[in-house]
């Protein structure tokens, strides 16, 4: 694949002050990091720059503070990161000004320093030019390794790329390579599986996908809206009936673009929205008026499987049913395992992303068997919507 952005292969970092934007927004409880996945993801870039004799100066946001707020300090995260990278990670209590400048001045080649939460300054989210200049003073180059924050044009995620030579970190590079293989220059045919609760949050995404993929499987609560729009009774199921016209428009666009829409042909119906509620599978034209569709049915699963078998590339976002409650996780679990098996057999390139989707793949025990799983929520969805991501655009070679 021709890459149109600069990476760490294009720069000698030795002796340079490297401002490295990372995602350190980890879940914390009582001052302790409860899930270090994000720290593990950025560790290779940190280790590489440090190992090559660069000075690693970490920039990141944490939470949504309004001004300085001790509960959103990155200090405990810096300590946890030190354990992951197995090197000391120093900390400076501000990301600009004398505190930051003195800490940077004290660094030796290979040292790692984490600066305090960039969002303690309101100028960060405003991409304020004076704030960008203050940050830029601390570094010689800027490396962006935070794909998950790339849909935001903030000072540390975008602004710096206009001030300093800009490069993609290894995690960003891997993410961009995987995404390019999934939608920009994919092996064909391409299938997308889109599920989740609502159509309203995924209209742009569906409209972009029907132009790009050969087949689109629609599952989850959002399938009910499409079924209703086609005159099928969905009983008491979750459905956005006011979006019937939108659903029909998406179906028309799919037809015009030669994209097959694959909707459920049967469904698992229950009468209570709770785990292990008594349930039964019905054909899609026989959904009981007082029932709720909580998962795709066995015939739909078989259809999804053969669609996966026909595809060379799969993009997946959103569960096919209410996967948090047994037995309504079945459609999602079985389909995820099928996609994982095809991937392992080298028949399929599979890319998945979004918070619930990652949770579902973990629940199915197959997250590691997919070609790529993106942990970025908002940025992954905006990428699926076909929107340019400011933090990625700024890395492109000009
Ligand atoms: P989203 O955040 O839009 O991807 O939606 C994920 C949520 O959709 C999960 O919490 C699922 O439980 C829920 N969901 C999926 N299918 C259904 C369904 N048929 N009825 C109600 N909720 C569903």
Range in 31-40, 50-59, 74-83 the model is least confident about: 31-40
CA-to-CA distance for 21 and 80, rounded, in angstroms? 17
| C-beta 197 within 6 A of ligand 1 | yes
| C-beta 318 within 6 A of ligand 1 | yes
Alpha carbon distance, N-terminus to C-terminus of the chain: 18
| C-beta 139 within 6 A of ligand 1 | no
CA-to-CA distance for 55 and 49, rounded, in angstroms? 7
- Domain 2-172 in CATH 2.40.40.20? The answer is no
- Cα–ligand 1 centroid distance for 348 (angstroms): 26
Q: State yes or no: pLDDT of 398 exceeds 70.
A: no
Which residue in 9, 15, 16, 7 sits closest to 141, CA to CA? 16
What Å distances lie between residue 193 and 27, 58, 110, 255, 317, CA to CA?
28, 36, 44, 17, 6
| C-beta 201 within 6 A of ligand 1 | yes
In the block, which residue shows the tokens 């000391």?
88
User: Residue with the nearest Cα to atom 12 of ligand 1?
Assistant: 322
Q: Note the pLDDT tens digit of each residue in 361-395.
A: 999 999 999 999 998 889 999 999 999 999 999 99
pLDDT at 2: 41
Q: What is the mean pLDDT of the chain?
A: 96
- Cα–ligand 1 centroid distance for 293 (angstroms): 11
pLDDT at 215: 98
Q: Note the pLDDT tens digit of each residue in 298-355.
A: 999 999 999 999 999 999 999 999 999 999 999 999 999 999 999 999 999 999 998 7
- Cα–ligand 1 centroid distance for 272 (angstroms): 15
pLDDT at 375: 85
Q: State yes or no: pLDDT of 78 exceeds 90.
A: yes
pLDDT at 158: 98
More confident residue, 228 or 38: 228
pLDDT at 281: 98
Do the first three CATH levels of 2-172 and 186-384 match, i.e. the same topology? yes
More confident residue, 146 or 354: 146
User: Residue with the nearest Cα to atom 10 of ligand 1?
Assistant: 322
| C-beta 359 within 6 A of ligand 1 | no
For the annotated catalytic residues, the residue numbers are 38, 198, 355, 378
Residue pair 175/168 in contact by the 8 Å Cβ criterion:
no
| C-beta 143 within 6 A of ligand 1 | no
Confidence of residue 214 (pLDDT cuts 50, 70, 90): very high
- Cα–ligand 1 centroid distance for 240 (angstroms): 13
Q: Which atom of ligand 1 is nearest to the CA of 267?
A: 19
Q: What is the DSSP letter of 271?
A: S
Confidence of residue 1 (pLDDT cuts 50, 70, 90): very low
pLDDT at 244: 97
User: Residue with the nearest Cα to atom 11 of ligand 1?
Assistant: 322
- Cα–ligand 1 centroid distance for 319 (angstroms): 6
| C-beta 293 within 6 A of ligand 1 | yes
Confidence of residue 254 (pLDDT cuts 50, 70, 90): very high
- Cα–ligand 1 centroid distance for 160 (angstroms): 38
| C-beta 198 within 6 A of ligand 1 | yes
Cβ neighbours of residue 7 under 8 Å, at least 6 residues apart? 167, 168, 170, 173
- Domain spans of the chain? 2-172, 186-384
Q: Which of 194, 220, 282, 332 to mutate to test the pocket of ligand 1 (most atoms within 8 A of CB)?
A: 220
CA-to-CA distance for 170 and 41, rounded, in angstroms? 9
DSSP symbols for 358-383: HHHHHHHT-GGGSSEEE--SHHHHHH
User: Residue with the nearest Cα to atom 6 of ligand 1?
Assistant: 196
Q: Give, in degrees to the nearest 5, the angle at Cα 318 between 313 and 319.
A: 105
Q: Which CATH superfamily is domain 186-384 in?
A: Phosphoglycerate kinase, N-terminal domain (3.40.50.1260)
| C-beta 319 within 6 A of ligand 1 | yes
């Amino acid at each position: 694949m021709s890459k149109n952005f600069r990476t760490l292969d294009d720069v000698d970092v030795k002796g340079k002050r490297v401002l490295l934007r990372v995602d350190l927004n980890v879940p914390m409880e009582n001052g302790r990091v409860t899930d270090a996945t994000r720290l593990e993801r950025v560790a290779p870039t940190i280790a590489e720059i440090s190992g090559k004799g660069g000075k690693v100066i970490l920039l990141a946001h944490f939470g949504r503070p309004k001004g300085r707020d001790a509960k959103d300090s990155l200090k405990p995260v810096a300590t946890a990161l030190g354990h992951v990278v197995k090197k000391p990670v120093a900390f400076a209590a501000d990301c600009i000004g004398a505190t930051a400048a003195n800490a940077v001045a004290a660094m030796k080649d290979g040292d790692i320093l984490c600066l305090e939460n960039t969002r303690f300054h309101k100028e960060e989210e405003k991409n304020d030019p004076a704030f960008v200049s203050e940050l830029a003073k601390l570094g010689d180059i800027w490396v962006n390794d935070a794909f998950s924050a790339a849909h935001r044009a903030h000072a540390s995620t975008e602004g710096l790329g206009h001030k300093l030579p800009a490069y993609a970190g290894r995690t960003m590079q891997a993410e961009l390579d995987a995404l390019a293989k999934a939608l920009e220059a994919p092996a064909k045919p391409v299938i997308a599986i889109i599920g989740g609760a609502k159509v309203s949050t995924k209209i742009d995404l569906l409209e972009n996908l029907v132009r790009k993929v050969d087949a689109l499987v629609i599952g989850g609560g959002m399938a009910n809206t499409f079924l209703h729009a086609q005159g099928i009774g969905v009983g008491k199921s979750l459905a956005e009936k006011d979006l019937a016209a939108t659903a029909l428009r998406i179906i028309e666009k799919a037809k015009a673009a030669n994209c097959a829409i694959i909707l459920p042909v049967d469904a698992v119906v229950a009468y209570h929205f709770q785990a292990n509620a008594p349930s039964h599978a019905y054909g899609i034209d026989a959904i009981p008026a007082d029932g709720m569709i909580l998962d795709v049915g066995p015939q739909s699963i078989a259809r999804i499987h053969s669609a996966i078998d026909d595809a060379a590339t799969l993009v997946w976002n959103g569960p096919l049913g209410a996967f948090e409650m047994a037995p309504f996780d079945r459609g999602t679990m079985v389909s995820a395992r099928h996609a994982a098996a095809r991937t392992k057999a080298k028949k399929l390139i599979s890319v998945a992303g979004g918070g619930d989707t990652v949770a579902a793949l973990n629940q199915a025990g197959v997250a590691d068997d997919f070609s790529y799983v993106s942990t970025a929520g908002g940025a992954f969805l905006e990428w699926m919507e076909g929107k340019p991501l400011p933090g990625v655009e700024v890395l492109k070679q000009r």
